[in-house]
Amino acid sequence: MPPTDLPALRAAVVEGDATRARALAEQLVAAGDDLMAAVEHGFAAGIRRVGELWEEGEYFLPELVQGAEAMKAAMAVIVPALARERAGELSRGRVVLGTVKGDLHDIGKGLVGVLLAAHGFEVHDLGHDVAVERFVERARALEADVVAASALLTTTMPEQRRLAEAIAAAAWIKRPRLLVGGAPTSRAWADSIGAGWAENALRAVAAAEALVR
Ligand code: B1M
């Protein structure tokens, strides 16, 4: 595969082919390719297309799930490789990351984690369906600089507000700043709960940098 064969990466996700997505990711890593570009312009472009096809009624839940599985198969190869590339670099801040309780969408959250780690943050990913209490407990134990919470459903956005309230109410040696994001969120929403906000994974890096400054 030529290093810039982004359409192949995109197609593997759109076609929901996890085996091919994983194999392509392994080739990228072996070739020392630009992994961030491959994620953003290849695999993530694929899952965004899956989302469009679902919204257009072309794809149904099985195709949606297969697309998500293909994306995750690629990320399972790429995330450890990125971590190896960055090993030994000084941390720019410690981030506790997760998707809020009741919400299973973790692809965008995963991308945020990958980009933060790629830019030198120490990322502790708690996964999806994370309760407010767990965010707070981990942030306290790790003395995190930033708590980063993703929500993809309008019904789970209120968990971000609960998290903001819990962070404000808890006693801290070092109080972490809250960063929120996810498709239904907005700057106005983040402002209303006193959190930082980023509309995409790349901007989440700049937002986290601003919060730790
Ligand atoms: Co669901 N889903 N889903 N889904 N799903 C959406 C979100 C939806 C918009 C589709 C639609 O109806 N058009 C809709 C939500 C409507 C709403 O509430 N506004 C929806 C629904 C309704 C549901 C179910 C209820 C469907 C059902 O069962 N009837 C169900 C809910 C399950 C649950 O969570 N409890 C459900 C289930 C699923 C799957 C499990 C099948 C699968 C998720 C698999 C997984 O993540 N492991 C899935 C998927 C794949 C989607 C779509 C198609 C794609 C989401 C995605 O991964 N996008 C989505 C439609 C869409 O987005 N167009 C949809 C790609 C990803 C890279 O983008 O996550 O937006 P995104 O992340 C971006 C930014 O938002 C931002 O940066 C990322 C990268 O640039 N960002 C942050 C995200 N988090 C951030 C955090 C930050 C900063 C930036 O700081 C902390």
What per-residue confidence (pLDDT) applies to 197?
98
Residues 57, 75: Cα–Cα separation, whole Å? 26
CA of residue 153 to ligand 1 center, whole Å: 7
Q: Please write the tens of the pLDDT for every residue from 31-43.
A: 999 988 898 899 9
What per-residue confidence (pLDDT) applies to 107?
86
Question: Hunting for tokens 């106005």 — which residue is that?
Answer: 188
Q: Please write the tens of the pLDDT for every residue from 58-86.
A: 999 999 999 999 999 998 999 888 878 77
Give yes or no for residue 23 having a pLDDT over 90. Answer: yes
Q: Please write the tens of the pLDDT for every residue from 188-202.
A: 999 999 999 999 888
What per-residue confidence (pLDDT) applies to 1?
47
Name which residue sits closest to atom 77 of ligand 1, judged by CA: 200
Pocket test for ligand 1, best of 64, 105, 111 (most atoms within 8 A of CB): 105
What per-residue confidence (pLDDT) applies to 165?
98
Over range 9-25, report the average pLDDT: 96
Which residues, at least 6 apart from 3, have a Cβ–Cβ distance to it below 8 Å? 28, 31, 33, 34
What per-residue confidence (pLDDT) applies to 4?
59
CA of residue 47 to ligand 1 center, whole Å: 10
Q: Please write the tens of the pLDDT for every residue from 137-184.
A: 999 999 999 999 999 999 999 999 999 999 999 999 889 999 999 999
Pocket test for ligand 1, best of 71, 152, 211 (most atoms within 8 A of CB): 152
Residues in contact with ligand 1 (CB, 6 Å cut-off): 44, 47-48, 50-51, 54-55, 61, 64-65, 68, 102-109, 111-112, 148-150, 152-154, 179-184, 198, 200-201, 204
pTM of the model: 0.88
Note every long-range contact of 23-26, with CB atoms under 8 Å and residues 24 or more positions apart, other chains counting: 24/74, 25/73, 25/74, 25/75, 25/76, 25/77, 25/78, 26/77
What per-residue confidence (pLDDT) applies to 100?
98
Q: Please write the tens of the pLDDT for every residue from 109-126.
A: 988 998 888 788 999 999
